[in-house]
Structure 1
Amino acid sequence: MRKRAERFEDLEVWQYAHKLVLETYKITRDFPGEEKFGLTSQMRRAGVSIAANIAEGFKKRGMKDKTNFYNIAQGSLEELRYYFILSHDLGYLNAQTDAMDNLDTVGRMLYGLIHSIAVK
């Protein structure tokens, strides 16, 4: 049986989301300078939004509030997914990255988290 999370850092989904943010920062470091205030910035913001909304949702008491923040995190996740596709199509990424695989993991975990709240 899993130990109940006492802090957002205890949530496995947040841990994966945080790892995704770090991977996104690392990947975008090599993007062209012309993308600094464009795609690079957008990708980083979307990644941070995923982890930040999971953290904020964790402390909300009402199930509706919790679900709202987790849904926002899902929206940011899909936004980041699109930016990875765009980055690949623009030639900034050559192949599937660990970050792209991590997107799927975080997405599944978020879906499960939201579903578990909805069932309560």
Structure 2
Amino acid sequence: MAFKFENLRVWEQGIELSAEVSKLVKTFPTEERFVLSAQMQRAADSVALNIAEGSTGQSDAEFKKFLGYANRSAIEVVNCLHLGRKRHIITEDDFSRMYTAYEGMIIKIQALKNSF
């Protein structure tokens, strides 16, 4: 692996969760394609993107700042899960599974951030 972020388990989990979000939003109704599904996918992608961007050639303080951005994006995904559940386009099972996964992701990002 050539880049620092490629060795980070939290980045790898971000990639995996983004793929899960991609599968989930493909089940949304057409009218949500450019609304909730697009927003949710961008937020999910942003988690791993911010981890990668912050880790590459930045100071520890700069990396911490990008980890904060990644955490905010993960929180945005959680909020999208709530919106989807409220709109009856995300099942309780999918909500619970994804909520738990993002809860764990947020904890891991915060732990990495606190390690500096």
TM-score of the alignment, normalized to the shorter chain, above 0.5: yes
* Matched letter for residue 105 of structure 1: G
1:30 pairs with 2:5: no
Conserved in 2, the CA contact under 8 Å of 1:16 and 1:102? no
Counterpart in 2 of 1:76? 73
TM-score (norm 1): 0.88
- DSSP-derived class of the 1:96 partner: helix
Q: Percent identity?
A: 29
Does 54-63 or 93-102 show the bigger shift?
93-102
Partner Cα separation in structure 1 for residue 15 and residue 98 of structure 2: 11
Give unpaired runs (5+ residues) of structure 2.
none
Give unpaired runs (5+ residues) of structure 1.
none
Conserved in 1, the CA contact under 8 Å of 2:54 and 2:65? yes
Counterpart in 2 of 1:115? 114
* Matched letter for residue 66 of structure 2: F
Conserved in 2, the CA contact under 8 Å of 1:28 and 1:40? yes
- Structure 1 residue 96, shift from structure 2 partner: 3.5
- DSSP-derived class of the 1:16 partner: helix
Counterpart in 2 of 1:42? 39
- Structure 1 residue 79, shift from structure 2 partner: 0.7
TM-score (norm 2): 0.91
Length, aligned pairs only:
113
* Matched letter for residue 54 of structure 2: G
Partner Cα separation in structure 2 for residue 37 and residue 91 of structure 1: 17
Q: Cα deviation per residue 1:61-118 (whole Å; 9 max; x = unaligned)?
A: 312211111100011111110000110111011113332221011101001000001x
**1:1-120 superposed matches below 5 A:** 7-97=4-94, 98-117=97-116
- Structure 1 residue 8, shift from structure 2 partner: 1.1
